[in-house]
Chain A
């Protein structure tokens, strides 16, 4: 199992909710999609590469033929998939601390949802409903989501700078170069491997070591 791929952690959570509750929850998600300002807290936290919520009614479970028994469920289910930077505790606690209301509105009236504060019951709720990932792939394991966003800015700035200074005198070049560094001061840093800070990360490290040695 590997919930960790470099600087990214894969979280999978599945929780039941009643059909009537889904109507309200869908409305909240619809509103969040229409009004990006409602997710400003998520943006500001800047921990997440990509996350999604999926609400499944019993009839939404794919049924592909007579050899597969049809599901007979009473509850609907909400699936949450996130790709975030940092450890499980950092992620869960960041949300509880900074956007508890947003979190509680997304999980509103899910069966036995505890609210995101106090933290300990919330930890227990997520742990109880989390499923471990069997295979997790990340195209840029040495980069955080902030690195990816910064990289886009660095590249565009370099392209523009190279064009605008192609015929500059050394002094003019220096002035513009200093401006470039100033504008990119939050975006320049060295990336590298994530430190191994947990038993899970250590297990992933051993798995990668085997891959490097060609052992399956």
Chain B
């Protein structure tokens, strides 16, 4: 299946955005279209370790953007336009679709509602639980024709543990140059105790963090 490469999944959604403007009082905004307000919301959502996507298990990379129209290529091409704006969500994650979406619903339901309430067919009344959310997403999913995985398809926890170990072992190798065999062996024993390479939970890198001083979850 083209949406998958090994254990990595490429999810792509086109969610049609409601036409017109939201009623007064919709999330405190009025006098602008659903699409304009949605763009404001997307640009306000955090992108670092505080991003809601950092709480969704096994998310490697994700993006949101608005597709307002298609581009005219100039004469003699046909000029055509979309009749709706679409919220595009692209995500690369580890695992299968339904468990991933269930995890998303459990961890960031309120943020999902904040975004998808701008879209046709999604409201607090029509989507009440994880099953309805999954059904909605499947209606909006577009199938990937070709998926290229240039990275790995491990669970995110293993990737983050590996990055933590790569960083720490690079320091270890540098700091222990020129020491005696016994000293290196003792230091390595301490290193393994401190870094616990087989324990993916801790210590490891936290997802989405941009700061070397704050990236390690101890």
Contact = CB atoms under 8 A, between A and B. Distances in A.
Nearest to A150: B166
Given A140-B207, A143-B163, A49 B147 contact: no
Q: Which range holds the interface residue count of chain A?
A: 35 or more
A162 B181 contact: no
Nearest to B77: A111
Q: Which range holds the interface residue count of chain B?
A: 35 or more
B146 interface: yes
A90 interface: no
Interface string A138-159: 1111110101111110110011
B154 interface: yes
A79 B198 contact: no
A136 interface: yes
Interface string A12-55: 10111000000001100100110000010011001111111111
Nearest to B67: A131
B74 interface: yes
Contacts of B162: 148, 151-152, 154-155
A74 interface: yes
Interface string A172-216: 011001000100100111111100000000001001100110001
Interface of B: 2, 8, 10, 12, 14-16, 18-19, 39, 42-48, 50-51, 53-54, 59-67, 70-71, 73-74, 77-78, 80, 82-84, 86, 88, 90, 92, 119-121, 139-140, 142-152, 154, 156, 158-163, 165-167, 169-171, 173, 180-182, 184-185, 188, 192, 197-198, 205, 207-212, 215
